[in-house]
Amino acid sequence: MADASNPATGTNLGRVLIYAALALTCLYYLLPLYVMVVTSLKSLDEIRTGNLVAPPQNLTFDPWIKAWSSACTGVNCGGMRGYFMNSVMFTIPAVMLSTLIGAANGYVMTMWRSRFSDILFAALMMGCFIPFQVVLLPMARTLGVLGIANSVLGLVFVHTVYGLAFTTLFFRNYYITIPDELVKAAKIDGAGFFLIFRRIILPLSIPIIVVSVIWQFTQVWNDFLFGVVFSSGESQPITVALNNLVNTSTGVKEYNVNMAAAIIAALPTLFVYVVAGKHFVRGLTAGAVKG
Amino acid sequence: MVEDALPRLVVAPTFAAALLFIYGYIAWTAVLSFTTSRMLPSYHFGGLIQYANLFDNARWSVALGNLLVFGVGFVVICLVVGLTLAILLDQNIRAEGFIRSVYLYPMALSFIVTGTAWKWLLNPELGFEKVMHDFGFADFSFDWLINPDRAIYCVVIAGVWQSSGFVMALFLAGLRGIDDSIIKAARVDGASLPTIYRRIILPSLWPTFFSCFMILAHIAIKSFDLVMALTGGGPGFASDVPATFMYAFAFTRNQIGMGAASAMMMLMIVVAVIVPFLYSDLRGGRRG
Amino acid sequence: MSALSIREVRKAHQGTPILKGINLEIEDGEFLCLVGPSGCGKSTLLSMIAGLDTIDSGEVSIGGRVVNHLSPKDRDIAMVFQSYALYPNMSVRENVSFGLEIRKVPQAERQAIVQRVAQTLQMEHLLDRKPSQLSGGQRQRVAMGRAIARDPALFLFDEPLSNLDAKLRVEMRTEIKLLHKRMGTTIVYVTHDQIEAMTLSDRIAVMRAGEVQQFASPQEIYDNPVNLFVAGFMGSPSMNFIRAKVETQGAGFGLRLDTHGASHLMPAQGIDAALRSRVGQEVIFGVRPEQITHRPDGAGADQLHTLRLPVELVEPTGPDTLLLVPINGQEVTCRVHPTHACAAGEHLDLTFDLSKAVYFDAKTEQRLL
């Protein structure tokens, strides 16, 4: 929007100030990550005597090893490994299911629109707004009745159900930009509901599938509320385990192990962010259409 | 015709799920909030007793007060920081892509991770305070995390750190969406850059502002993980918010009725904050 | 047996009528244009023929078979869309053969058909491209190829040329006409462009507000419009409508035309019965620009009437020059050969050819006969 010939920003001093401000804020945003990384590579002694922002004098990977395989959360001393796998186990199916169902819903809501699907859309939007606290008690009871409380399966179920509102919104808003003449042409060519979806619509959906998967992945992986309410002990996700680790009141606080564990918990979403950051941004902006 | 039934059949499970898991459960929670349920759900009608108890509860008052402090602080600071960064970043910055990624990466993190990181940074003995001591400011004291009057501000600091980059991204997208020719026209009319921003660019960012407000308000009201990780609601219950209150009463203190009532109050707060905005927005004619 | 027959077809959307009882019938091999301003219901009617839209009441039959309740794929039709609606993820070849594949046409036969269609439309070199790699005209061609491949009983075209630039539109128009001539398949063609309708069709249905105003051959519609709307819609520049008072003139009747102080009585012939009751009232005198020109052509002398008129504006178009003259306070367009044009502000003798003049009631806007 503003271009280089812009007279007001063209002055050298102004440019310098802008760059200085941007650089400083960059430091501010990077500082916590930096501190986490250096802390996780220091020994506890060094942490106590040294400076928060100083780079490690004696590089050690022991905190990482401990965080991964032997740190204690409560009574369990198996490190983050098991909880990390728990998160993987429920995140992947929940992301795939909610994306697939969301795509089908979006397809119906745009290409096979009816009063019924309009009502559903309006009804679903509420799912984007409610504070989940308002469904926790009944859901806890339901999972108990279904026999999937405190299990990975229960978390798959909960995350799929409450992810649907967002994935449906994503796909609907994307499909609405596809001309419906395409579906009309396919109908005249003789294709039916599923064939049109599979052969015409899905191949066009790659960008929005990426957005939906990334969004759902970060949401589900980073979730704490459902994890802490609907799981316990061995079945807990990594966010809950991390919180337990950090807030365990017994023994010496091992800040370096805590930081290593925090980075481990953050790595998958950070990885996705680095690899597909562009789509991530687009997903966030699309989700913001109606938050 | 079969062709007519199929689409309905495909969305029917979602429809049923929405009815049950959203509306049904809200109703169920509402029912629970009118009962005398404690450790186990009972369906003995208790009228408004849970709500009465809730509002008599000092901890709930603290939680509401904290929500107000956190909500206003978090939303306002995020908006100001986000908009400022977006405008700065929109001045033909060379490393724009990189800088944008730096601002945005906290959004990829769990609030638990953010909370853990800031808990360490703000650690009264070994954190930020010590850094200042090492730099020679021997009297510098920063104990907000364990100060009952200040703990909630720590939550604001960490929350802003995590979410302001996202607000920046939305505003930047909004700025990029403004028609170039309008700005050219304003320049031809002789408007200075500050005037162009004040009179043309900022007013046309209203829809973005609106979206940001909705999202931020929503994050603030639901805010749970960040508080749990950063302060655990403490010291004592000084930094409790409604979400942590609800969790504590419903799941650790076995006060199901009160938990349900507090959950309903959270829903009311969301409705009270978001519906007027949504309404004014719909009246304004903007389509989502 | 008629190729397409539409009987008393009605449609309403949320209480608002969109089609108010349409009746149309065309023979095998005919080219029908549905023409009218946007919102007249022409595209809805086409959608209903295709089976993409439901019919509230009435009957649509294709090849003698009532298709009201058949889905599009069972109607033996093919359609070309305004946006072309090419499947973006498929190559041209796949686009053309998709419908055949769904109808379980064997692979070898499919290939042969694609080859033949590609030859017919001269697009063999495009077969392996994706739609995004094609120009607008090429996409249009592929969309037609996709329709042809299926060899349907009825082709439906929904404003197929309106996304093309002016030059290409004329080229493709000719090509569609040639194609129709060669294949001889029945075509229903929706357009808002009256020149397209005139040039392409055997018969035109002029629609307005959910009703067919006139259903006839292009020349008939041009020469004998049934009402003011049809007369004004067809033809460019459009017909002049001069409001004029009816007066008696000897045994017959005339229309009073005033221009810059001068007053003339224009004889009106052939509609004495209608004018007799309207003496002293206004009627609308319809005359096309080419019927007000510099010299008499074929018509008999008694049908010609020359007035000396002041020229206000001169618009050369190349082959003709349009002159604007004021009559009864209105701008009237005349069409003369450039060599006979004068400068603005001058007076010119202009001859009215009354043999094709039409008259309309000022209130009902219906043709006076």
Number of domains in chain B: 1
**pLDDT for residue C305:** 83
**pLDDT for residue B168:** 92
Output the CA–CA distances (angstroms, integers) from residue A175 to A103, A168, C89, in the order listed. Answer: 9, 10, 15
Determine, for residues C102 and A204 on separate chains, whether the beta-carbon distance falls below 8 Å: no
**pLDDT for residue C62:** 92
The amino acid occupying position C262 is A
Q: What percent of chain B has pLDDT over 70?
A: 96
What are B201's two structure tokens? Answer: 């660019």
**Total CB pairs under 8 A between chain A and C:** 60
Kindly report which listed range (A266-275, A281-290, B88-97, C183-192) carries the lowest average pLDDT score. Answer: A281-290
CB C313 within 8 A of CB C325: no
The average pLDDT across B22-43 equals 84
- Please check whether residue A256 touches B, CB under 8 A: no
Q: Measure the CA–CA gap between C237 and C223, rounded to whole angstroms.
A: 15
Report chain A residues whose CB lies below 8 A from the CB of B92: 2-4, 6, 9
In this structure, which topology does domain C4-225 adopt according to CATH? Rossmann fold (3.40.50)
- Please check whether residue C54 touches A, CB under 8 A: no
In this structure, which topology does domain A81-286 adopt according to CATH? MetI-like fold (1.10.3720)
Residue identified by tokens 């020059």 is: C321
Q: Measure the CA–CA gap between A62 and A43, rounded to whole angstroms.
A: 8
CB C325 within 8 A of CB C314: no
Output the CA–CA distances (angstroms, integers) from residue B287 to B211, B216, B278, B279, in the order listed. Answer: 12, 20, 11, 12
CB C341 within 8 A of CB C332: no
DSSP code for B49: H
The average pLDDT across B188-212 equals 84
**pLDDT for residue C367:** 92
Domain with CATH 3.40.50.300 in chain C: 4-225
Mutation target for C interface from A178, A189, A195, A202: give the one with most C CBs within 10 A. Answer: A189
Interior CA angle at B5 toward A290 and B7, to 5°? 30
Q: Look up the domain containing B99 and give its range.
A: 57-287
DSSP code for A140: H
Q: Which residues 6+ apart lie within 8 Å of C346 measured at CB?
A: C310, C311
pLDDT in tens, B74-131: 999 999 999 999 999 988 888 888 898 889 889 889 999 999 899 888 887 777 777 7
Other beta carbons within 10 angstroms of residue A233's beta carbon come to 10
Q: Do the domain assignments include residue B108?
A: yes
Check whether A258 has a pLDDT greater than 60.
Answer: yes
Report chain A residues whose CB lies below 8 A from the CB of B25: 134-135, 138-139
The average pLDDT across C50-75 equals 91
Determine, for residues C79 and A185 on separate chains, whether the beta-carbon distance falls below 8 Å: yes
CB B119 within 8 A of CB B229: yes
Dihedral over Cα of B11, B16, B21, B27: its sign: positive
pLDDT in tens, C169-206: 999 999 999 989 988 899 999 999 999 999 999 999 99
Q: What percent of chain A has pLDDT over 70?
A: 91
Neighbours of chain C (3+ CB pairs under 8 A): A, B
Output the CA–CA distances (angstroms, integers) from residue C206 to C5, C72, C181, in the order listed. Answer: 16, 25, 23
Q: First and final CA of chain B: distance in angstroms?
A: 33
Tell me, letter by letter, the H, E, C secondary structure of C91-108. CHHHHHHHHHHHCCCCHH
Check whether B286 has a pLDDT greater than 50.
Answer: no
**pLDDT for residue B3:** 58
Q: Give the sheet arrangement for strand C252-259, strand by strand.
A: C262-268, C252-259, C240-249, C282-287, C358-361
Kindly report which listed range (A120-134, B59-73, B82-96) carries the lowest average pLDDT score. Answer: A120-134
The amino acid occupying position B273 is V
Output the CA–CA distances (angstroms, integers) from residue B149 to A67, B72, B130, B141, B274, in the order listed. Answer: 33, 16, 21, 15, 28
The average pLDDT across B229-256 equals 85
Average pLDDT of chain C to the nearest whole number: 90
**pLDDT for residue B283:** 63
**pLDDT for residue A54:** 80
Enumerate residues 54 to 93 of chain A having a beta carbon within 8 A of any beta carbon in chain B: none
* Kind of pairing between the strands at C16-27 and C211-216: unpaired
Interior CA angle at C119 toward C114 and C121, to 5°? 95
Query: Which residue in A184, A190, A203 is closest to C85 by CB distance?
Result: A184
Q: What is the CATH number of the domain that holds B138?
A: 1.10.3720.10
Of the candidates B278, B145, B136, B125, the one whose C-alpha atom is nearest the C-alpha of residue B214 is B278
**pLDDT for residue A4:** 43
- Please check whether residue A225 touches B, CB under 8 A: yes
Kindly report which listed range (A1-10, B91-100, C304-313) carries the lowest average pLDDT score. Answer: A1-10
Check whether A7 has a pLDDT greater than 60.
Answer: no
**pLDDT for residue C224:** 93
DSSP C324-355: EEEETTEEEEEEE-GGG---TTSEEEEEEEGG
Report domain C240-361's class. mainly beta
What does the CA dihedral C254, C256, C257, C258 come to, rounded to 10 degrees? 150
What are the φ/ψ torsions at residue A88 (nearest 5 degrees)? -60, -45
Q: For chain A, what's the residue count?
A: 291
Exposure string (b/e) for B185-212, b if CB count within 10 Å is 16 or more? ebeeeebebeebbeebbeeebebbbbbb
pLDDT in tens, B115-154: 989 988 888 777 777 777 777 777 777 777 777 778 888 8
CB C310 within 8 A of CB C347: yes
The average pLDDT across B243-271 equals 89
CB C143 within 8 A of CB C85: yes
DSSP code for C133: G
Average pLDDT of chain A to the nearest whole number: 85
**pLDDT for residue C304:** 77
Exposure string (b/e) for C255-271, b if CB count within 10 Å is 16 or more? bebebeeeebbbebeeb
Dihedral over Cα of B257, B258, B262, B265: its sign: positive
Dihedral over Cα of C57, C58, C60, C65: its sign: positive
Kindly report which listed range (B229-238, C75-84, C94-103) carries the lowest average pLDDT score. Answer: B229-238
CA distance A83 to chain C (A): 41
- Please check whether residue C146 touches A, CB under 8 A: yes
**pLDDT for residue A285:** 62
Determine, for residues C81 and A185 on separate chains, whether the beta-carbon distance falls below 8 Å: yes
Cis check: omega of the bond before B106, within 30 degrees of 0: no
Domain with CATH 2.40.50.140 in chain C: 240-361
Q: Which residues 6+ apart lie within 8 Å of A208 measured at CB?
A: A103, A170, A171, A174
Q: Do the domain assignments include residue B30?
A: no
CA distance A103 to chain C (A): 18
Other beta carbons within 10 angstroms of residue B280's beta carbon come to 11
Q: Which residues 6+ apart lie within 8 Å of C279 measured at CB?
A: C246, C247, C248, C253
pLDDT in tens, A192-202: 899 999 999 99
Q: Measure the CA–CA gap between B104 and A25, rounded to whole angstroms.
A: 12
pLDDT in tens, C220-245: 999 999 999 999 999 889 999 999 99
Q: Measure the CA–CA gap between B93 and A14, rounded to whole angstroms.
A: 12
Q: Do the domain assignments include residue B33?
A: no
The average pLDDT across C293-299 equals 66
pLDDT in tens, C310-361: 999 999 999 999 999 999 989 999 999 988 888 888 888 888 888 889 999 9
Q: Measure the CA–CA gap between A161 and A153, rounded to whole angstroms.
A: 12
Nearest CA in chain A to B110: A222
3-state secondary structure of B232: coil
Average pLDDT of chain B to the nearest whole number: 84
Determine, for residues B243 and A289 on separate chains, whether the beta-carbon distance falls below 8 Å: no
3-state secondary structure of C282: strand
Q: Angle formed by the axes of helices B151-176 and B96-104, to 10°?
A: 140
Q: Measure the CA–CA gap between B29 and B35, rounded to whole angstroms.
A: 10
Check whether A1 has a pLDDT greater than 60.
Answer: no
Q: Do the domain assignments include residue B194?
A: yes
**pLDDT for residue A9:** 47
Q: First and final CA of chain C: distance in angstroms?
A: 33
Determine, for residues B121 and A192 on separate chains, whether the beta-carbon distance falls below 8 Å: no
Neighbours of chain B (3+ CB pairs under 8 A): A, C
**pLDDT for residue B32:** 86
**pLDDT for residue B1:** 46
CB A73 within 8 A of CB A245: yes
**pLDDT for residue A288:** 47
Other beta carbons within 10 angstroms of residue C144's beta carbon come to 25
CB B93 within 8 A of CB A22: yes
Reported as a pLDDT band with limits 50, 70 and 90, residue A235 is confident
Cis check: omega of the bond before C225, within 30 degrees of 0: no
| β-strand partners of C335 | C322
Q: What is the pTM of this model?
A: 0.84
The average pLDDT across A135-163 equals 90
* Of B38 and B101, the one with more pLDDT: B101
Reported as a pLDDT band with limits 50, 70 and 90, residue A3 is very low
What are C170's two structure tokens? Answer: 């004329």
